[in-house]
Amino acid sequence: MFGSKHIFFCAFGVAAAIAAVAEESRALTDPEVWNEGVEYYRAGDATNALRVLRPMMLSRSHGARAAEVVAKLEYESGNIEEAAAAAQVALRANPGDDRANRNFTRAVDGLPAMREARHVDEVLKAAQGKDPGSLMLAATYDARGMMDAFGGCMTNTPPRVIELSDELSARARRLSDVWLPVKEAICQAVTNEDQAATIVMQVDQAREKSRLAARQFEDLEPEGYATISDVEHDCTRFLKMMVMPPAAMGEDMVAQSNAWLSVADFNGRSWQQEALDYTRSFRSKFPAWARAYEQQAQSDTNRPPFTAEDQAKISALATELEKLQIECVEKVDPPAQEQAIDLIRQIRELLPKDGNGGGQGQQNNESRQDQQNQQSQQGGQPDQQEGQPEQQQGNEENEPSEEEESPQDGEAEQSDEDKEVEAVLRKAQERSDEHEADKKARMRKAPLPPNERDW
């Protein structure tokens, strides 16, 4: 049996526990909660101060003061969004308070820059390992698709018009993000500050036009067509500078086939001149691309070989192709245009047919385009190609003006600025290819971990 003394202590312990629970369960008044939060704040315990004071922001008696403290602590911690929200609560409670106005202004001023920086980080992280040229190729076709879609958007019923305009706005915003990895690649590759500043300015302008198109689509402004048309010009211009040789031949085939079939010029540009531009882009990048491919093939036995003989054949065919296309620019010659298509097909047959890096990421897209062109050639006048916009009928923005007509000079030399930009972008791609080759080589030389046996 337990003694009376033991029973006394047990009873005392139970009573103390009950009292403690009752004390904890008693709802604290707002002044008591405020005092507790202030004590944590004065002690430098920001975590507990926020835990206690954040729920108090809805209090009628102490909400404004609690919001001020929460805004200060969140701002000092770098949580600008939370700081702005708390400062807004404090300002609503005292709209005429100068200090509340200053705190709210200070918090809100940093929001746009912070949100933009966070968005840029997210886009660049998602684009890691992707070829900027491939991204620009997809963006170019998307811009053309938006031009086509906007032409028919306004003919629908009002609810459908609003739905389509919102879709176009979202597409334009996504397109504007494509310029970010392009800008990043330039900044990493260019050592000349003046060159980098010039190209970055051009990229920023193109991105801002893409964002303007998104706003105009959202507001159903007719000017959206002219803006996205200008964006398409920017995309095509940078694509010609950045596209790698296999994809360049794919675009060359599309343009040359359209020229041979007398497809109407698109966005004020001649298909034959486009084909010539892609051939020149191919020729300027092919030697460096071929060397990079050989280096990667040495460390990757799955890659098909690319012999010096094939490279020499390709170089000779590309030289012949450029001369032929120059003549076709000066004078329309269907037999010569058909011969140019055959030369492009020969070049593409000689290029390595793998789907791994080195500018080969566009093989599937190129095969699709080649198939479409073959179908168009068999059927005479081609059907609308997937990803390519139809010619807008009766749209003044889409009709080439006299000033926008392709130059009659067959050489159509690039401007010094375009040559400078192209050289910088080519250097950036070469560095990217070299980095990938080195990384793959290191991966193959590294020993297997103990838990992975090479049977």
Supply the pLDDT for residue 111.
87
Q: Which of the four pLDDT bands, split at 50, 70 and 90, describes residue 323?
A: very high
**Same structural domain, 220 and 144:** yes
Supply the pLDDT for residue 88.
92
Q: Which of the four pLDDT bands, split at 50, 70 and 90, describes residue 388?
A: very low
Supply the pLDDT for residue 429.
63
| SS3 track for the chain | CCCHHHHHHHHHHHHHHHHHHHHHHCCCCHHHHHHHHHHHHHCCCHHHHHHHHHHHHHCCCCHHHHHHHHHHHHHHCCCHHHHHHHHHHHHHHCCCCHHHHHHHHHHHHCHHHHHHHHHHHHHHHHCCCCCHHHHHHHHHHHHHHHHHHHHHHCCCCHHHHHHHHHHHHHHHHHHHHHHHHHHHHHHHHCCCHHHHHHHHHHHHHHHHHHHHHHHHHHCCCCHHHHHHHHHHHHHHHHHHHHCCHHHHHHHHHHHHHHHHCCCCCECCECHHHHHHHHHHHHHHHHHHHHHHHHHHHHHCCCCCCCCHHHHHHHHHHHHHHHHHHHHHHHCCCHHHHHHHHHHHHHHHHHCCCCCCCCCCCCHHHHHHHHHHHHHHHHCCCCCCCCCCCCCCCCCHHHCCCCCCCCCCCCCCCCCHHHHHHHHHHHHHHHHHHHHHHHHHHHHHHCCCCCCCCCC
- The pTM score is 0.67
Q: Domain holding 45: CATH number?
A: 1.25.40.10
Smallest Cα–Cα separation from 330: which of 414, 380, 259?
259
Whether 353 is in a domain gets the answer yes
Whether 311 is in a domain gets the answer yes
**Same structural domain, 69 and 145:** no
Whether 123 is in a domain gets the answer no
Put residue 361 in one of left, alpha, beta given phi > 0 → left and psi -120 to 50 → alpha: alpha
**Same structural domain, 148 and 99:** no
Q: Which of the four pLDDT bands, split at 50, 70 and 90, describes residue 441?
A: low
Supply the pLDDT for residue 418.
62
pLDDT value at 145 more than 50 = yes
Question: Which residue has tokens 């811009």?
Answer: 143
Whether 450 is in a domain gets the answer no
What percent of the chain is predicted at pLDDT more than 90? Answer: 49
pLDDT value at 277 more than 50 = yes
Supply the pLDDT for residue 382.
37
What span, in angstroms and rounded, lies between the C-alpha atoms of 338 and 323?
14
What span, in angstroms and rounded, lies between the C-alpha atoms of 236 and 42?
60
**Same structural domain, 200 and 283:** yes
Q: Which two tokens stand for residue 379?
A: 């059927």
**Same structural domain, 157 and 23:** no
pLDDT tens, residue by residue, 75-102: 988 888 899 999 999 999 888 888 889 9
Q: Using alpha carbons only, how large is the chain's radius of gyration in Å? A: 32
Whether 96 is in a domain gets the answer yes
pLDDT value at 341 more than 50 = yes
Supply the pLDDT for residue 397.
38
**Same structural domain, 153 and 239:** yes
Name which of 125-139, 287-301, 379-393, 423-437 the model is least confident about. Answer: 379-393
Smallest Cα–Cα separation from 293: which of 276, 305, 281, 309?
305
Supply the pLDDT for residue 396.
38
**Same structural domain, 82 and 44:** yes
pLDDT value at 371 more than 50 = no
Domains: count for the chain: 2
Separation in Å, CA 330 to CA 37, 207, 252, 347, 412? 81, 35, 18, 24, 10
**Same structural domain, 97 and 172:** no
What percent of the chain is predicted at pLDDT more than 70? Answer: 72
Supply the pLDDT for residue 356.
43
Supply the pLDDT for residue 8.
40
**Same structural domain, 102 and 135:** no
Last residue of a domain, one of 77, 109, 141: 109
pLDDT tens, residue by residue, 286-303: 999 999 999 888 888 888
**Same structural domain, 154 and 65:** no
Tell me the residue range of the domain where 79 lies. 4-109
pLDDT value at 109 more than 60 = yes
Name which of 48-52, 157-161, 448-452 the model is least confident about. Answer: 448-452
**Same structural domain, 181 and 212:** yes
**Same structural domain, 27 and 154:** no
Supply the pLDDT for residue 385.
39
Whether 325 is in a domain gets the answer yes
> What contacts 24+ positions apart, CB below 8 Å, involve 115-120?
120/180
Supply the pLDDT for residue 19.
46
Whether 293 is in a domain gets the answer yes
Whether 124 is in a domain gets the answer no
Last residue of a domain, one of 109, 142, 161: 109
What span, in angstroms and rounded, lies between the C-alpha atoms of 214 and 206?
13
The mean pLDDT value for 303-323 works out to 95
What average pLDDT does the chain have?
Answer: 79
What span, in angstroms and rounded, lies between the C-alpha atoms of 33 and 51?
11
